[in-house]
Amino acid sequence: MARHVQTALVDDIDGGPADETVAFSWNGTSYEIDLSRKNADALRALLEPYIKAGRHIRSRAARPAGGRSRSTTTSSKQRNQAIREWARAQGLQIAERGRIPIEIMLRYENRQQG
User: 80 and 38 share a domain?
Assistant: no
Whether 68 maps to a domain, the answer reads: no
Read off the pLDDT of residues 85-106 as tens digits, 9 standing for 90 and up. 999 999 999 998 888 888 888 8
Domain that holds residue 103: 74-113
pTM of the model: 0.48
Whether 107 maps to a domain, the answer reads: yes
The answer to whether the beta carbons of residues 43 and 21 sit under 8 Å apart is: no
Whether 34 maps to a domain, the answer reads: yes
Residue 50: CATH number of its domain? 3.30.60.230
Read off the pLDDT of residues 23-76 as tens digits, 9 standing for 90 and up. 988 888 889 999 999 999 999 999 999 989 988 887 655 445 555 555 556 788
- The DSSP-derived string for 49-103 is HHHHHS-----TTPPPTTS--TT--HHHHHHHHHHHHHHHHTT----SSSPPPHH
Whether 13 maps to a domain, the answer reads: yes
